[in-house]
Each structure stands twice: as structure tokens, then as C-alpha cells.
Structure 1
Amino acid sequence: MDNINLIDTFSEFKELKNIDRATMTSVLEDAFRSALRKLFDTDENFDIIINPDKGDFEIWRNREVVEDGKVENPNLQISLSDAKKIDEDYEVGEEATDEVKLIDFGRRAILNLRQSLASLILELEKDNLYGKYKERVGDIVTAEVYQVWKKEILLLDDEGNELILPKSEQIPSDYFRKGDAVRAVVAKVEMRNNTPIIILSRTSPVFLERLFELEVPEIFDGLITIKKIVRIPGERAKVAVESYDERIDPVGACVGMKGARIHGIVRELRNENIDVINFTNNTSLFISRALSPAKISSIKFDDETMRAEVYLRPDEVSLAIGKGGLNIKLASQLTGYDIDVYREVDSVDEEDVTLDEFSDEIEEWVIDELKAIGCDTAKNVLELSFEELVKRTDLEEETIADVLKILKSEFE
């Protein structure tokens, strides 16, 4: 194995692993000096010249010239007659310099050197990869699907580095095949068994925030700020935005002309419904906006308990709650208040009866479940079909049937 062969090995590492020249040179020199210390007990009298561009290196040894027969340490001293073979002008007491060929190391030493270098560069590459992606946490990356497993997907970036997209970080309706290009945000980077693991996410609110930055120049430029994002991946999201320029409508800028800007984000998120809301420090107004598209009649809130009672017309209650309760759930997360929805008292039929009056016949937890979907009176419940009650509550069919029977008997 000669110099060129050895350097070629590490030229491949440099090309594939993108290690910079200065670092490569430092690693090579450290490895050579380690080998020299094992062979000669010291590396202090050696000069190592490495040229990664040409793919070669030189090792020069400096020894004191002594009279013939007076050599005590052949690594540090050289006889006058041997010195003159290098250069006729050498005299006793001078320092003679000669080149040490790699082949002089011996086959075993060369093999160890190569293994040592490979190990050093591999460790360096792991550190570089870890550092590179650690700095990119929160950034969007695009990678190609390499392998799809049950619990996660293995992706490769442009440099062939492995990235992981766990099932838990995928939008429920995501479906990827080998070769697909996937956009996701770098969620976290960690070391496992001395190997960097890069975890991606498509469900993180940060992913949605970065998509807005890509699609809305005003956000990227800092003219519009995203105050908070809450989302149920693949279903619905609410984004509170604020503008520092009175001339800019933050909601309009984010949605774009005819929804042009937000449509791209919606498609990327598998048709996730996105509500963009104008942020305000007025708590009452903010809660009202967060419950959009429902129109609020009045709000009572308590800052100490962080609870809000919202009153609406009967036909607005279902809009405030939303399909599967998503709207009110996200509004609560966005505002930080536990929101309870009530029908306006004025709109209650005089002949109607509140559910609390049936507490001796209907268990309290069942009444609470019905109130959670905006039904706080008997007629509110009876206005809904059996199928709709089954769909919107967590109650069993038998329980719902019993409740309907009790409530109907009240008006017979």
C-alpha cells in the first residue's frame, strides 16, 4: 500500500462526507503522528506535509549528525557516513533531514493507520452531521423517501444523510412511497449509541409556521408576526397573526388573493382547514374571533380561573363547537381559556326545561356530556336526531335512547 492508495481512501471520505480541507488535513496529521509515536516513541522530530488537493503527503525526519559509531538513538541521530549519502555537505552537529516512506512503517502499521483514519473520519462525520442538523432544528427540509416501515419512514437528504419521520409525526392522511419528495420540519436531533438521529415532523405547529413564512413574504420580512398556532394535524388549525404596519391586513395577506397563498399550505397539510385570526390583546374580542365562524352574542370570562362563558343564538352553537368539537377545542388552546358554550337565555322556550332539572332521572356525567355539545335544555337535545347525538357525544346508544325517552315524556 503506497501513499496514493492511502490518500485516495480519504479523498473518497472527503467527497462523500463533505469534510472541509482544514479538518481533513488536521485529522490525517493526527493519525500519522499517532502512528509515528508508536513506531519511534516520539513524533517531535518529524515534519508532516499533507496536500489534500493533490491527494498525497510527505513525512520528513530530522536527526542530529554524529560521528560514525556514536549513534545511540537511530531515530534521533544519524551517522556522518549515512548523512553524506543524503547530502555530501552534511557535517557532525548539523541536522539532517530525510524522507520517511510509508512502506517503511510496515504492513501491520499501515493497516492500523488506515483503520485509525477511517474511524477518526467516521466520528468526525457524525459530529459534523449532528452539529449541522442541530443548527437546523425548526427549519423545513425536503428529503426523498428511501424506505417505508410501519412505525416510521426513512428519508435521505441531498447528501445521502438518513432522516427519520415517525408515524406519530405524520399527518393521519399522509401516504408516501419510495422516491417521493417529502417536506417536513426538523423537530429534534439526538445521539443514540454515538450515532446522530435526525427526527422530522409534519404535525408540529412549527411546520405550519414555516410554511406560512415560505408562502407569505410579509411574515418572512417581519411585517406580520405569527403570535400563536394550534392545530389538530390533518383536521383543523387556528393561526393568530398581528401586523406592525397599519396599512397591512394580516389576515388578508396570509390568505392571499382568492386564497392563493393559503391554498398551497392547505394542500401540503392534506386539506387541513386553516383559520387565520387577527390577534388582539382584548380578551373578549380575541375569544370571539377564535370561535369563528360562529357569531358570539356575549362573553363572560374570569382571568383568575381562565374560564370563559360564551352565549350564542341556538343556530350558532353548532358552529362554535364545530365538527367533533374541534372548533371550540382549538379556540380554547389558542386563547388559553376553558370555553363553555351556552344558548342565550332570551331564546329559551318558556315551556322548555333545563337538563339540570332531570338530575334525579339522568346521571350528572351524562348531562355534562350533553352540555358539552351545547345542549343545556330538554328541547335542545330533542332538536337533534338520535344519529347526530351518537356522533357528537361519547355516550352509548342505549344511554342516548334512555335520555330521549325521559325527555320526550316531559312534553307528552
Structure 2
Amino acid sequence: MENLALIDSFSEFKDDKLIDRVTLMAILEDVFRNALKKKYGSDDNFDIIINPDKGDMEIWRNRVVVADGEVEDSNSEISITEARKIEPDFEVGEEVSEEVKLIQLGRRAILALRQNLISKIHEHDNTNLYKQFKDLIGDIYTAEVHHVRPKAVILVDDEGNEIVLPKEKQIPSDFFRKGDNVRGIIEAVELKGNKPQIIMSRTSELFLEKLFEQEIPEVADGLINVKKVVRIPGEKAKVAVDSYDDRIDPVGACVGMKGSRIHGIVRELGNENIDVINYTTNTQLFISRALSPAKVSSIKLDETNHRADVFLKLEEVSKAIGRGGHNIKLAGLLTGYELDVIREGSPAEEEDVELSEFSDEIEAWVIAEFAKIGLDTARSILKQDVADLARRTDLEEETILDVMRILKDEFED
């Protein structure tokens, strides 16, 4: 078998790889030099001539002619008798170049060559893949669901690269089927052995920021700047935006007419509720905006400890806290302040009792259900409509009526 045929047999699988013929030939030379070292002890006296256009290569062994009986190193020296079998006019001291056919290395060596070549090409592919996706970290990427596992969804892109979307990086409402297209950001590229593992995320704040860049032209053009993003994935997010152009309303531009612009982002994130807020360096005003839709009466700042007492009318407290406490939690993350809600009102209204005080009469899970929607005092519940509470919680109307009866009895007493 000639060298070309052997090389073709080695590289028959290259069409499935992202590797050009020139690179392949360079890898082949490295592999063959290692094989020559193993067989002859050294490759110093071998010339490997590569022709990448034809996909061929030649191996030439160079030896010095010595007198018969004086060969000390058979790899670098050849006797005059053996040399004259190649060319009859060779003389002692001259150099002989003899082509080595790959088949001369032996069947076992050729199989080892093939395996080594496959390993080198995989190593080359993995290095290229690692570099490619390292440059894509923080960018939005789309891939197709290949199969769904309990702890991760395995995606494949158009080039056949495998991408992992771990369960903890998925939005809680995400549900994927084989063949679905999935968007997320490339969050990390980790080496597992020699193979890179590409990690996608849909829960990162950066994913939401990049969606703003992708969906809102003014953000993409730099006319609107996304200052900060905080999220509880799948539940609620707050995005602070700013513009250096006074003619632009950054919130209005991001939301769009009747929410037209932000609707696509909300849908992508599993109907995550997104509050877009005008950024300001005025801390009190920023905290007040961050707590929307609640209307703040006043704020007392402790800038040293990054704490703030927020004074609210009783009817605004549940709005400030939000469902499951999400609103106040995100407002704190957005502003960088720990927020304490202080209720204010008329003297009669101020006579309130924490719901936890009724733990001997009301079951803990019922109290927890009210707390989820920001109702943690007796009066805050008594002011609500029973049917509305049943809709907003997992409680039956009968249970709510029982709770209200217990609370009313407290104030009548």
C-alpha cells in the first residue's frame, strides 16, 4: 500500500471534524515522527515532505555510507554493499536518502498510528471548541434539545456541539421536548478531562440584560443603558435603566406601546414579571422607585450600614412586600440597601397584631399562605375581600372566614 492510500485511510473520518487538510497534515507529521522514534530510536535523520494540496506525504531516511563491517548505528549508517544495492555508484562518506513506505512500519504500528491520529485530532477539536466558546461567554446562544435528563437538558447546536443546560440554570416553568429551540447565555466552559463542557444558563441576570439588548434597539445602540438587573427567575425581575439623552424616556422605550416591546422578553422568561425602573443617583428616590407599585411616604437612610427604614401607609405595605416577599427582596438587591418596612396610619389603625401571635389558634401553614402575599398582620387581612384572598392564596373561603372571625374577636375583646 502506498503512502497516499494509507493517509486517506487515516483521514477518512476528517470530514466530520472542523479541521482543514493543512492542519491534518501537520498532525500527521507529528504522529509519524513519534512512530519513527519508537521504531528507529530517533527521527533526526528523517525528512518528512508534506504536500497538503494532494494530501500526500513522503518520508525519507538519510544515512551515511561506511565500509562493510563498520556500521555502528544502523539507523544513521549503511554499509557500502547495502548502499550500492540502492545506487551502484555510491562511495564511502556519501549520504544515502531512501524513501520509507508506511507499510514498512508494520501492521501493528500502522494501527497505533491511526489511533494516535484520532486522539490528536480530538485534542485539536477540543482545543478549538474551548477557545471558540470561551469567546462566547456572556452571549446569547440558541441550540436544539437533543435529549432531556432529570438533572440537565442536553442541547446540540448547528455544528453538532453539545451544550448542557443544568436543572438549576433553568427557569422553574421551563418545559422542553426533543427538537425544541432553546435560548440562553453561555455562562461557562469547563474542562472535563480533556473535553470542554459548555454550560448554558437561563436564570442569569445577564441573560435578561442581553435580551434587552437584543429586543430593544435603543439599548443595542447605546442610547439606553441597563444599569442593573436583579431576578427571581420565573417570578419577578427589576431592571434599572438610564439614558444620557434627555429626549428619551428609557422606561417607556423599553416597555413599548402597551408593553409591546417587553412582551417578547416576558414570554421568553416564562411570564416573569419585569419592572423597568428609571435609575437615579438619588438613593431615597431610587429606593422609592424600586418599591413600586407601592407608594412610599418617607424614607430614613442609614448610609453607613446600608439600611433604610421605609414608611408606608397600611394599604401600601402588601404592595411593597409583594407576593412571597419578592418585591421588597428585589428592591433591596437593586438598591443595595436592606429595607425595613415601617407601617404608619391613624392611632386606631396602628393598633395591630402580628399574625404570628395567633399561632395557637391558626395553623402555621395558613399563616405562611397569607405571608406569601404580603399579609402578616391582623388588620392587613381584615381589610381584604374574602373572594380575592381565596383567589390569591391556596386557602378555601371557609378557612379564610374562620381566620377573620378569630382576628375580629381579638379586636372586639
- 1:93 aligned to 2:84? no
CA distance in 2, matches of 1:14, 1:45: 30
Partner of 1:211: 211
Q: SS of 2:348's equivalent?
A: coil
CA distance in 2, matches of 1:217, 1:70: 82
* Offset of residue 80 of structure 1: 4.2
Partner of 2:28: 28
Partner of 1:149: 149
* Offset of residue 388 of structure 1: 6.6
Q: Which amino acid aligns with 2:189?
A: V
* Offset of residue 185 of structure 1: 1.1
Q: SS of 2:178's equivalent?
A: coil
CA distance in 1, matches of 2:359, 2:42: 93
CA distance in 1, matches of 2:356, 2:73: 105
Partner of 2:190: 190
CA distance in 2, matches of 1:135, 1:250: 30
Check 1:283–1:181 CA distance in 2 against 1; reply closer, same or farther (3 A cut).
Answer: same
Alignment deviations for residues 3-47 of structure 1 (CA, whole Å, 9 cap, x no partner): 334423553454323135554333222211111111111100101
Partner of 2:348: 350
CA distance in 1, matches of 2:14, 2:275: 48
Gaps of 5+ in 2: none
Alignment deviations for residues 151-200 of structure 1 (CA, whole Å, 9 cap, x no partner): 21111122212111122211122121111111111122222344322221
CA distance in 2, matches of 1:60, 1:210: 57
* Offset of residue 286 of structure 1: 0.7
Q: SS of 2:239's equivalent?
A: strand
CA distance in 1, matches of 2:27, 2:99: 21
Q: Number of residues paired by the alignment?
A: 409
Partner of 1:379: 379
Q: SS of 2:270's equivalent?
A: coil
Identity of aligned residues (%): 60
Deviates more, 1:98-107 or 1:300-309: 300-309
Partner of 1:115: 115
- 1:135 aligned to 2:98? no
Alignment of 1:147-186 (within 5 A): 147-186=147-186
Check 1:9–1:246 CA distance in 2 against 1; reply closer, same or farther (3 A cut).
Answer: farther
Alignment deviations for residues 308-342 of structure 1 (CA, whole Å, 9 cap, x no partner): 22233444333322233322221122112222334
Check 1:4–1:253 CA distance in 2 against 1; reply closer, same or farther (3 A cut).
Answer: farther
Alignment deviations for residues 203-237 of structure 1 (CA, whole Å, 9 cap, x no partner): 11111111112123333343433221111212221
Q: SS of 1:44's equivalent?
A: coil
* Offset of residue 290 of structure 1: 0.9
Q: Which amino acid aligns with 2:352?
A: T
* Offset of residue 244 of structure 1: 3.2
Partner of 2:412: 411
Alignment deviations for residues 256-301 of structure 1 (CA, whole Å, 9 cap, x no partner): 4553432222221122221111211111111111112222222222
Structure 2 length as normaliser, TM-score? 0.85
Residues 25 and 55, structure 2, Cα contact 8 Å, conserved in 1: no
Deviates more, 1:86-95 or 1:121-130: 86-95
CA distance in 1, matches of 2:190, 2:17: 19
Partner of 1:274: 274
Partner of 1:54: 54
Residues 11 and 52, structure 1, Cα contact 8 Å, conserved in 2: no
Structure 1 length as normaliser, TM-score? 0.85
Check 1:2–1:267 CA distance in 2 against 1; reply closer, same or farther (3 A cut).
Answer: farther
CA distance in 1, matches of 2:297, 2:243: 27
CA RMSD, 1 decimal: 3.5
CA distance in 1, matches of 2:355, 2:109: 91
* Offset of residue 95 of structure 1: 1.9
* Offset of residue 242 of structure 1: 2.2
Q: SS of 2:177's equivalent?
A: coil
CA distance in 2, matches of 1:275, 1:374: 18
CA distance in 2, matches of 1:64, 1:404: 110
Alignment of 1:58-97 (within 5 A): 58-68=58-68, 70-80=70-80, 82-84=82-84, 86-87=86-87, 90-97=90-97
Q: Which amino acid aligns with 1:321?
A: I
